[in-house]
A and B are shown apart, each in its own frame.
Chain A
Amino acid sequence: MAEMQTAPAGAGAGRRLLTWVDNRFPLTKLYNEHMAQYYAPKNFNVWYVFGSLAMLVLVMQILTGIFLTMHYKPDAAKAFESVEYIMRDVPWGWLVRYMHSTGASAFFIVVYLHMFRGLIYGSYRKPRELVWLFGCAIFLCLMAEAFMGYLLPWGQMSYWGAQVIVNLFSAVPFIGPDLSLLIRGDYVVGDATLNRFFSFHVIAVPLVLLGLVAAHIIALHEVGSNNPDGVEIKDAKDARGNPVDGIPFHPYYTVHDIYAVSVFLFIFSLVLFFAPEGGGYFLEFNNFIEANPLKTPPHIAPVWYFTPYYSMLRATTDLMVNILAIILAIAAALAILRGGFRAPAKIAIAVAAIVAVFLLKAFDAKFWGVVVMGAAVLILFVLPWLDRSPVKSIRYRPGWHKYIYAVFVFFFLVLGYLGSQPPSTGGNVVSQIGTLVYFGFFLLMPWWSRLGTFKPVPNRVTFQSH
């Protein structure tokens, strides 16, 4: 325990109070560690505002959520009506509701951009693996939060979306049907399901989410922020031991972020007041019809932020499973012939490949669709160990690496678009190609990320003052 400090003689009441608190709680210490003396690289660009914006949206979602909970009824017979009641009869209820529903989409826009920043500047590389892992866990929680929240208005899309996702679990061999029964709490999506999703949405997942956000920030402030050059600023320190290329988060980046917040809120308000449904992408039109368990709407699609994964699920047909089996066999053959492994390792690869191909054919394509969808999210977790490039930032990678990232982003967007469209033969072929590109990008990364001529990385960050 630190020794009791005393305020200097003649100090004002505020200073004396702060000293009193600091002797009992590390208030000044925390403030310095995370704000006034947290040194962030001075060369941040616009990509670095999305972390703060994500925090802003999180706070907004929690606040609006608290107020919505005061009027909403988690009852299959009353839920739809209570949302309409909030929209029409509760004073300013429409604003709170639209802030929450638009906020969900804004959250994913901000988080996708935040993740893309990490991807291009190598922010997940040593020593920031845990920052990335906590971030991926946050992304997973957000998806759960968004999915369960979407059931609550009890519209047609809520109902049939939940029906589809809960049935995903029933595709798991052996335990699947019991598992989906356990999630629904009934033989069909119904009152029991709505009630438990409400509980998860308003308390269980947000608690986990807040804990993970705290862990994400603590881990970040332990290792320090990366920057667009991927240079460690801690390698060059001044006489006082502070990074020469670092500037205190407060006031420099708080001002920077407040500017970004203003721009963000400007755009957010435009959507909120003029297009809260986001053209049917943020709030689907079918969700303004009450849930009807006897009739699926003619076209059902998840909300936009899930569509890339939904496309991959739809792309996994019997044909796709056969293609995967062939790719697996070729990969195993190449690993054995060209990989330079020892004999026991070669045998292990051959056995593993045979077992994998057998399993691919043994279970339904439906199950593998679920696996592909899950793997598409979970593969993000291993990214720090897939990237073997000698430099972190895209700035110092071979020029053609940029095209790989461009192709990846292009197909991710195409998958997202196709997932929002009705199924079609042509679209299915494109989404199968997109799925292979998505997984190829990650699974071949240990190979391609080492190829090419890398540019020399400077010792210090590049920065021009304005």
Chain B
Amino acid sequence: MTDQKIDGGKRTWIIASSCAGAIGAGFVAVPFIKSFEPSERARAAGAPVEVDISALKPGEKLTVEWRGQPVWIVRRTPEQIAALPKLDPELADPKSQRNPDELTPPYARNENRSIKPEFLVTVGICTHLGCSPSDKFVPGPQPSLPNDWAGGFLCPCHGSTFDMAGRVFKDKPAPDNLRIPPHVYLSDSRILIGEEKRA
């Protein structure tokens, strides 16, 4: 074999046809990878959800499903609302300035992160890795929480804590506050989740 000369022309064509083959294989891969994307049926799901909040008492929480995710509606007590501004120094993003387009609609960019101070409407999915935090509304020392706990939520997965406005505490795994979904009050007792106020 060693005494044979390299046929440069043949080698060029071998390289060219290998490249053509590789490009073809790349194109063939596209439909297979595309098939991993959400199907049309999955895309079509996700209609807005209407919720009746008339039965909700102060200090209570209601969970509804919107786009497969839990959405919480919490009716905060006056004490809980009053405690919110005091927590600002301990929070990672007290004024909800990070990723506001994604996390906090304009009408919720306030101290309470809500349209009405009394009602918090938020997606109950931790911004860390997507667990649903548990209610820890009772203030005071308890396992996994600081001794000066003022009430809020604790993510059981990685220990992120959130206050009663879904704002994340500093130095926790979760980088952002809980997401406020687009929502609108249809009346005093009815909220539509998944739609904003039409202009």
Contact = CB atoms under 8 A, between A and B. Distances in A.
Interface string A416-433: 000000111000100000
Nearest to B72: A294
Interface string A88-105: 000000000000000000
A248 B130 CA distance: 54
Nearest to B157: A300
Interface in A199-220: none
Contact of B36 (A182, A299, A428): A182
B26 interface: no
A328 interface: no
Nearest to A165: B129
A182 B143 CA distance: 37
B37 interface: yes
Contacts of B157: 160, 164, 296, 300
B162 to A, nearest CB: 14
B129 A168 contact: yes
Contacts, number: 104
A40 interface: no
A213 to B, nearest CB: 26
A163 B129 contact: yes
Contact of B38 (A168, A186, A318): A186
Interface stretch (B11-19, B73-81, B168-176, B189-197): B168-176
Contacts of B175: 364-366
Interface string A146-190: 000000000000001001111110010000000001111111101
A181 B38 CA distance: 7
A183 B37 CA distance: 8
B179 to A, nearest CB: 13
Interface in A109-123: none
Contact of B69 (A171, A188, A314, A422): A188
A165 B130 CA distance: 9
A423 B159 contact: yes
Given A318-B171, A423-B158, A298 B38 contact: no
Given A164-B130, A423-B144, A183 B156 contact: no
Given A183-B36, A317-B172, A294 B65 contact: yes
A319 B158 CA distance: 15
B39 interface: yes
Most chain B CB inside 10 Å of its own CB: which residue of A185, A313, A366: A366
A166 B70 CA distance: 18
A295 interface: yes
Contacts of B63: 294-295
Contacts of A364: 175
B171 A295 contact: no
Interface in B7-40: 33, 36-39
Contacts of B69: 188, 293
B42 A424 contact: no
A416 to B, nearest CB: 16
A316 interface: yes
A422 B174 contact: no
Contacts of A300: 131, 156-157
Given A186-B38, A300-B156, A366 B173 contact: yes
A297 interface: yes
Say what secondary structure dominates the interface of chain B. loop
B67 A188 contact: yes
B134 interface: yes
Given A164-B129, A167-B129, A192-B38, A293 B68 contact: yes
B94 interface: no
B173 to A, nearest CB: 6
Nearest to A318: B171
Contacts of B171: 317-319
Interface string B150-165: 0000011111000000
Given A185-B38, A296-B156, A423-B158, A317 B134 contact: no
Contacts of B46: 187
Nearest to B160: A423
A369 interface: yes
A295 B129 CA distance: 14
B182 interface: no
Given A182-B37, A294-B63, A422-B143, A369 B173 contact: yes
Given A181-B37, A318-B170, A297 B156 contact: yes
B95 interface: no
A423 B95 CA distance: 27
A65 B69 CA distance: 32
Contacts of B42: 185-187, 190, 192
> Which 8 A-B pairs give the minimum distances between C-beta atoms?
A423-B159, A188-B68, A167-B130, A296-B132, A364-B175, A167-B129, A294-B70, A164-B129
Interface of A: 160, 163-168, 171, 181-188, 190, 192, 196, 293-300, 313-314, 316-319, 364-366, 369, 422-424, 428
Interface of B: 33, 36-39, 42, 46, 63, 65, 67-70, 124, 128-134, 143-144, 155-159, 170-175
Given A160-B132, A423-B158, 4 more contacts: A182-B37, A296-B131, A296-B155, A424-B144
24 contacts: A164-B131, A165-B129, A168-B129, A182-B36, A182-B37, A183-B36, A185-B38, A187-B42, A190-B68, A196-B36, A293-B70, A294-B65, A294-B132, A295-B70, A296-B156, A296-B157, A300-B131, A300-B156, A313-B158, A317-B172, A317-B173, A369-B173, A423-B144, A423-B158
